[in-house]
């Protein structure tokens, strides 16, 4: 029994933000049923076992049903399915679900207590609601890119699609909150989540500072706006990072490096003066860390209780001892691609732990299972799937998020 066992999710999502939300719900045991194009194309690679790796990760644990919402018969089946659901998640542009006949107002006619989550670039009500948006757009407009990158370099996006991912996380959180509220009151709800709003909220500290008389935050690379030393530092054979938030940690750093005289230096003896003399402090530390091999200085710092780390590549992270010990690499099974590995769930519950075993579905894999549950006979299902095989267009005029 998983935490969300027994709850049914209808998934109208694509790209990253929406599928991230429904992936989290699936990880927790909800039955997530994806509504997909009968003629859906797989898109660009990379591939594993003939399947896109992005789909193998984001669509894990879900079911796939193919329906054409423009076809009256298919639409009738879709609405029957929606009437049995607890949650709908969609990330079309505002207005698309209304044209499809599956907007919140349409759905509550057949399922009054539905939990309905909408994810879009700018929200259902916004001066920008008709604009297209992807991760980099939200990162740029929110201010996030302006503070990301080296001090003298250009603004850059994050290495992962964090606007999509954070939006999916917020959407999943909001969805579960609405579900909890329905358990208490019997009432459904509609969440309108915008990627731009999400990324603006991510900037809580610099935005709050600015709104209350502070300056405009600038790019500072791997440095910290308040804490020193906090940056990447060279070693004799590589690079590592130090995160020192208090003077007592700085004292330990000086002791390990053999430069105790700087711990009482008037330029560095407390948090405030170190911040004022950040560049000098960092340069002194670099002059000492360059003499150490990376493994040796990491071992010495860890033994002294100084927060530090190597900068792992993806392959190095996959072999990290802690990630391995905590089961953060899971193995699941796909119908045609077979077994494959992906990141596990970071949610480690003492009771009802998250157990990943099911991979992503192939297109329409669960048609017969889901349609038969709705009362369709074998002959009706055969006829429906035969008709779908001839479909050449589906949602062609509908642009995703």
pLDDT at 1 over 80: no
Q: How confident is the model at residue 40 (pLDDT cuts 50, 70, 90)?
A: confident
Residue whose tokens read 């860890």 = 302
The answer to whether 39 touches 7, Cβ cutoff 8 Å, is no
Task: Tell me which of 164, 197, 227, 231 is the catalytic residue.
Answer: 164
Give the residue from 350, 366, 349 showing the smallest Cα distance to 28: 349
- The whole-number average pLDDT for the span 251-274 is 98
342: pLDDT strictly greater than 70: yes
State residue 298's pLDDT score: 98
Residues in a beta bridge with 9: 32, 87
Give the pLDDT of residue 43: 87
Share of residues in the chain with pLDDT > 90 (%):
93
87-90 vs 8-12, strand pairing mode = parallel
Distance between CA atoms of 206 and 201, rounded to whole angstroms? 10
Residue 391 banded pLDDT, cuts 50, 70, 90: low
* pTM score of the predicted model: 0.94
Mean pLDDT for the chain overall: 95
89 or 69, greater pLDDT = 89
Does residue 356 surpass a pLDDT of 70?
A: yes
Model pLDDT, residue 390: 78
Strands in 246-344 per DSSP E: 308-310, 329-334, 338-343
Average of per-residue pLDDT across 217-231: 97
List pLDDT tens digits, range 98-122. Answer: 999 999 999 999 999 999 999 999 9
Q: Any residues with CB less than 8 A from the CB of 292 and at least 6 apart, and which?
A: 235, 236, 300
* Helix (H/G/I), strand (E/B), else coil: 372: helix
**Averaged pLDDT for residues 6-34:** 97
Under the banding of pLDDT at 50, 70 and 90, the label for residue 389 is: confident
The fraction of the chain above a pLDDT of 70, given in percent, is 97
Tell me the C-alpha distance between 158 and 168, whole Å: 16
pLDDT of 392 higher than 60: no
Question: DSSP character for 147?
Answer: G
Q: What is the mean pLDDT of residues 14-37?
A: 97
pLDDT of 397 above 50: no
Tokens at 327, concatenated:
């089961």
Residue 401 has pLDDT above 70, yes or no: no
**Rounded Cα–Cα distance for residues 248 and 178 (Å):** 45
Active site (annotated) includes residue 192:
no
pLDDT at 144 over 90: yes
């Amino acid at each position: 029994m998983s935490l969300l066992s027994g709850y049914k999710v209808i998934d109208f999502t694509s790209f990253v933000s929406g599928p991230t939300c429904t992936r989290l719900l699936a990880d927790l045991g909800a039955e997530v049923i994806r509504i997909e194009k009968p003629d859906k194309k797989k898109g660009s690679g990379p591939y594993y076992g003939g399947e896109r790796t992005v789909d193998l990760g984001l669509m894990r644990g879900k079911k796939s049903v193919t329906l054409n919402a423009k076809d009256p018969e298919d639409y009738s089946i879709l609405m029957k399915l929606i009437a049995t659901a607890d949650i709908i998640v969609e990330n079309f542009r505002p207005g698309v679900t209304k044209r499809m006949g599956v907007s919140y107002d349409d759905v509550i006619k057949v399922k009054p207590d539905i939990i309905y989550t909408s994810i879009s670039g700018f929200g259902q009500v916004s001066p920008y609601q008709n604009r297209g948006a992807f991760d980099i757009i939200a990162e740029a407009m929110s201010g996030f890119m302006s503070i990301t990158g080296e001090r003298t370099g250009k603004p850059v996006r994050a290495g992962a699609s964090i606007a999509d991912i954070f939006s999916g996380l917020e959407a999943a959180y909001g969805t579960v909150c609405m579900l909890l509220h329905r358990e208490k009151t019997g009432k459904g709800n509609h969440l309108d989540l915008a990627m731009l709003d999400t990324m603006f909220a991510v900037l809580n500290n610099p935005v709050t500072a600015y709104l209350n008389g502070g300056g405009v935050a600038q790019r500072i690379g791997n440095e910290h706006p308040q804490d020193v030393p906090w940056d990447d530092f060279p070693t004799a054979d590589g690079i590592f990072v130090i995160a020192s938030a208090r003077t007592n940690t700085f004292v330990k750093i000086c002791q390990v490096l053999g430069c105790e005289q700087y711990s009482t230096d008037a330029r560095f003896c407390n948090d405030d003066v170190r911040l004022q003399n950040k560049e000098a402090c960092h340069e002194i530390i670099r002059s000492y860390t360059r003499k150490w091999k990376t493994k040796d200085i990491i071992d010495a710092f860890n033994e002294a209780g100084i927060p530090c780390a190597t900068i792992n590549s993806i392959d190095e992270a996959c072999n990290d001892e802690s990630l391995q010990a905590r089961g953060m690499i899971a193995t699941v099974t796909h119908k045609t691609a077979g077994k494959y590995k992906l990141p596990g769930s970071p949610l480690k519950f003492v009771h009802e732990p998250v157990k990943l075993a099911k991979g992503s579905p192939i297109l329409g894999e669960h048609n017969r299972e889901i349609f038969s549950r709705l009362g369709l006979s074998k002959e009706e299902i055969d006829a429906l799937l035969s008709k779908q095989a001839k479909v050449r267009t589906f949602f062609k005029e509908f642009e995703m998020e």
